[in-house]
Chains A and B, each alone.
Chain A
Amino acid sequence: MSNAQIEIQLIACIVAIACAIPGTFLVLRKMAMISDAISHSILPGIVVGFFITQDLNSPLLILLAAFTGIITVVLVEYIQKTGLVKEDTAIGLVFPTLFSIGVILIAKNANDVHLDVDAVLLGELAFAPFDRLRISGVDVGPKSLWIIGSILLITLGLLIAFFKELKISTFDKGLAASLGFSPIIIHYGLMTVSSITTVGAFDAVGAILVVALMIAPAASAYLLTTDLKLMIIYSICFGVFSAISGYWLAHGLDASIAGSITTMLGILFLVIYLFAPNKGIIAILYREKQQRTEVSLLTFLLHLKNHKEIEERHVNHLNEHINWQKVRSKTVLDLALKNNMISIDKNIVSLTAKGDEFTSQAIDYIITNEDTQIEDMKDDFFLFRG
């Protein structure tokens, strides 16, 4: 591995971590699309900043562009408040318009601005190591490494300092306000951090990858845990993993690094989406099937308990009245028999003592709706699965 390769991977990893932290909160606060909006609408800010500073890596430019991000958020919220259009539409109107302004600004000043719209959207990580920071003539590393590194340090500092406030205001706005943490300050603080991170990362990895790095690791982590701290840690790990594996994918295919990292994020999300132990699609479908059978069983037992009349308890009644297909009825009947819940005598079904007790318990739980009883119930449900 050459020096440049290590530096590229290092930058990619730091960007991934810097994005994963605000990203987690954006996903939890249902504001993922805001990050998409910010990533597009900072373009005019970058262009104007470039006119002023003539340096893409200047901190002033980053602040100016981040300010455009905040303006986007304010504008979106203002339009939402007027009630003239529905919530989402406001976002969808603001960012393409601002982005267009940026594109036109670049086009009109193509000779003065060494900016390329493609590069803004996609970044060019491969070139990052060539723009080096020199302090009194000594090469201290790539500029973008220093920029994104400082942003990460600030983000980390803020995260540690305000973790409690962020947590409360994310999960319970009302409580946060009553405890004296202004949700508005937290909200705009988060928006500012997201904007700065987006700007800081864009010229290395491009606007779209910033969005992917913010949302995808957090969304993947959210499918695995609901613990906030764990979620942040998982997001960071996923981000770093995709950054490094994406780099090597790009290396192998000789394709865009940003695109490859996003693709790795996509594969990672797909795998977790399918196989996450509790919230993955396969687990959910399996559970739904189980639950359908279990609920059917309970329905059937309850029906038996409710009806003493013989005709209501005839095996055929299951098909006719409860409106199930033959297969389902048979599955339910077998399951109940296997667990000694019922006995069948000349096609007339009766509850056994065990079945009767179980049904009463189930009814109790359902009627009282108390969650304390749900734990026992879960154990009972597992009994059937054996």
Chain B
Amino acid sequence: MDVTEYIKLVFTDYTLRTITLGTAVLGAVCGMLGSFAVLRKQSLLGDAISHAALPGIAIAFLISGAKDSNVLLLGALVSGLIGTFWIRGIITKTHLKADTALGLILSLFFGFGMLLLTFIQKQPNANQAGLDKYLFGQAATLVESDVWLMATVTGICFVVLMLFWKEFKILLFDADYTKTLGFNTKFIDILITTFIVLAIVLGLQTVGVVLMSAMLLAPAAAARQWTNSLGIMIILAAIFGAFSGVFGTAISASQNNLSTGPIIVIIAGIFVIISFIFSPNRGLLFKQIRFIKNRRDLQLNKTLAFMHQIAKTHESISHPHTVKILNNFQGYTRSTLQQLVNKNYVKLEGNMWSLTEEGFTKASNLYNQQTSDNE
């Protein structure tokens, strides 16, 4: 299937359109809220919450007996919130550390959820099939009402985000200071946490419990590399998230046997890798290039300064010296000398070198600059 054909299909085919829209909206809202999770250093909380939501789904099913996804999501929300607050309780009240608390709640809730799920499966109830889609997610089961729900929540999220933008920003940066300005930090905090839990719960049906945390983190971690502005970071994260959703859906739709969730996560992972390597300011590639360039410049300058020292002892700057003197000097190589000649700082005649006027001034400036830098 070629690309244009696929795009045409997205607009005409109901199921594909629903799934594409759903994953795009989900990616956007996760990217947006994930930025907060990443900046609050609560990256793994998402993982714990998504696992903690599983027993909620099972219990909601046991109580309601129906597979209405809204009811199940409500159960997931409640159980996710309980998990979140229990984690906080463990961290603040006992001497167990954050990572232990996260791992505990994650595995224990998930295990309990599995117990319930397997228990439900053995029940003589025809309705129960398909509950395990929450494990790895099944984008294919998305229907229009699910997308509407996602869109509504995203809309509310967006409005709240715009309203409390200033409060969110300052709380993320400096919570104590926010308190002294008279803001109710607990309220803002609960607002952010609730939205993060909400986003996770929304994603369970599509991406599943296991991979949900990556949906939250990856777009935000990628976006962070391209900008130093919180606003742009959140917008970028939303875009990366949405694109991961759309591409992931496209790839899984055009291949057999590929579930959407893992593909979306891998696409988001590719965004992260590209951002880590190629972002102009923070990226590893440019950092390495800058590092090498700086080292070269330093070597060059050191050689020039060394030559300057020798030339200073003579009456005329252009007095020639043998190249041999340089051999003992650490920064010296044939190529650095050649570069100096290219820059017209040094003249080379046979085995003799001499500083040019330009080179001399440059070298003495270099010296002054360095001493003034140290001050």
Contact = CB atoms under 8 A, between A and B. Distances in A.
Given A100-B269, A212-B107, A92 B214 contact: yes
Contacts of A35: 103
B90 A88 contact: no
Interface string A160-196: 0000000000000000000000000000000000000
B266 A101 contact: yes
A121 B209 CA distance: 12
B89 A259 contact: no
A27 B100 contact: yes
A261 B111 contact: yes
Given A91-B44, A215-B103, A216-B104, A259 B114 contact: yes
B316 to A, nearest CB: 50
A216 B108 contact: yes
Nearest to B255: A108
Contact of A85 (B38, B111, B214): B38
A231 to B, nearest CB: 12
A40 B119 contact: no
Tier of interface size on chain B: 35 or more
A375 to B, nearest CB: 21
Contacts of A371: none
Given A88-B41, A96-B210, A279 B225 contact: no
B88 interface: no
B135 interface: yes
B111 A253 contact: no
Contacts of B110: 208, 212, 262
B115 A263 contact: yes
Interface stretch (A265-273, A300-308, A357-365): A265-273
A20 interface: no
A253 B284 CA distance: 54
Contacts of B118: 255-256, 259
Contacts of B257: 107-108, 110
Interface string B292-304: 0000000000000
B98 to A, nearest CB: 8
Contacts of B214: 92-93, 96-97, 100
Contact of A91 (B38, B43, B114, B216): B43
Nearest to B122: A254
A96 B41 contact: no
A77 to B, nearest CB: 15
Contact of A93 (B94, B96, B269): B269
Given A87-B41, A216-B108, A96 B213 contact: yes
Contacts, number: 197
A103 B262 CA distance: 7
Given A82-B276, A100-B263, A262-B111, A121 B210 contact: yes
Contact of B107 (A84, A107, A222, A262): A262
Given A103-B262, A104-B262, A118-B135, A258 B44 contact: no
A36 B38 contact: no
B198 to A, nearest CB: 19
Interface in B32-54: 38, 41-44, 46-47, 51
Nearest to A122: B114
A36 B107 contact: yes
Nearest to A256: B118
Contacts of B210: 40, 96, 99, 121
Interface string A25-50: 00100111111100010000000000
Contact of A121 (B44, B95, B135): B135
A89 interface: yes
Interface in A207-260: 208-209, 211-212, 214-216, 218-219, 222-223, 249-250, 253-256, 258-260
Contact of A88 (B43, B95, B224): B43
A231 B42 CA distance: 29
Contact of B262 (A33, A88, A100, A212): A100
Interface in B251-267: 257-259, 261-263, 265-266
A303 to B, nearest CB: 27
B169 interface: no
Interface in A252-301: 253-256, 258-263, 265-266, 269, 273, 279, 281, 284
A376 to B, nearest CB: 25
A84 B118 CA distance: 41
Contacts of A209: 107, 111
A53 B362 CA distance: 66
A79 B119 CA distance: 41
Contact of B99 (A33, A89, A223, A263): A33
Contacts of B157: none
A215 B119 contact: no
A117 interface: yes
Nearest to A39: B107
Given A87-B41, A256-B117, A273-B90, 11 more contacts: A27-B96, A36-B47, A88-B43, A92-B217, A97-B269, A118-B135, A212-B111, A249-B115, A262-B111, A262-B114, A281-B93
Closest 7 CB pairs of A and B: A262-B111, A259-B115, A96-B214, A259-B114, A212-B107, A100-B262, A32-B103
20 contacts: A27-B100, A32-B97, A32-B100, A32-B102, A82-B284, A84-B225, A84-B276, A88-B41, A89-B38, A96-B211, A97-B265, A101-B262, A118-B135, A212-B108, A216-B104, A256-B115, A259-B113, A259-B116, A262-B110, A284-B93
Interface of A: 27, 30-36, 40, 79, 82, 84-89, 91-93, 96-97, 99-101, 103-104, 107-108, 110, 117-118, 121-122, 208-209, 211-212, 214-216, 218-219, 222-223, 249-250, 253-256, 258-263, 265-266, 269, 273, 279, 281, 284
